[in-house]
Amino acid sequence: YHKFMATSVPLKLVIINFAIFIALRLIGIIAMIGGWDINAVVDYLALPSPLDILAQHPWTAVTYMFTHYEVFHIIFNMLTLYWFGKMLLLRCSNRQLVWLYIYGGLLGATFFLVGAQLFDGVGGWLLGASSAVIAIVIATAVLMPDFRISLFLIGSIHIKWVAIAAFLFFALGLVGDNAAAHITHFGGMTMGIIFALL
């Protein structure tokens, strides 16, 4: 516990996300052996688009942004969260970073829920930290676009170009394979801009 509390805020968020991921994967193995459906567990953490189900599971507006089940999904999100989170701490406090993560996730959830009511292609159950993470990426790029970092095999590069690459991954759907994921990402981007401007 004390070691956890002594770690940086970005690392704390990464640890929480991975702990939930590992727990779900272990439950998934048990489910496979027992012949029951892991989705019954995941659906208690993922954000549902039907408003009547959401009313019964209101906590999912928060739990979904800490819940992953696909390996590539969590690895990409957590690497991005850690790198950009550490950089953003040069310009904001630990408390601000945590709230940006939460607000990015909440606005992403709002975009998802509104989109699900307006468009047939958006809906289902949403999970993953993508909107929270992209909020941190965009806020960092807006606040200090010319901050330089060193990347393996590339060398020194302005953070704005890394952010643009991350933006393309999220916005063009290379992370996430459905309309729900795409519209949620734009909620996170919007929050990142709002945070930086304020």
Look at residues 39, 51, 174 and name the one whose alpha carbon lies nearest to residue 110: 51
Q: Is 45 exposed, middle or buried (0-12, 13-18, 19+ CB in 10 A)?
A: buried
pTM of the predicted model over 0.85: yes
Enter the tokens of residue 196: 């930086």
Q: Do 141 and 160 form a contact (C-beta atoms < 8 A)?
A: yes
Confidence check: pLDDT of 177 > 60: no
Confidence check: pLDDT of 173 > 70: no
C-alpha 75, offset from chain centre: 11
> Alpha-carbon distance 13 to 71, whole Å?
17
Confidence check: pLDDT of 146 > 90: no
Backbone angles phi, psi at 148, to 5 degrees: -105, 140
> For residue range 103-112, what is the model confidence (pLDDT) as tens digits?
999 999 999 9
> For residue range 111-129, what is the model confidence (pLDDT) as tens digits?
999 988 887 777 788 999 9
Residue 138 CB partners (closer than 8 Å, separation 6+) = 163, 167, 188, 189, 192, 193, 196
Backbone angles phi, psi at 125, to 5 degrees: -120, 135
Q: Is 89 exposed, middle or buried (0-12, 13-18, 19+ CB in 10 A)?
A: middle
For the chain, state the CA radius of gyration.
17
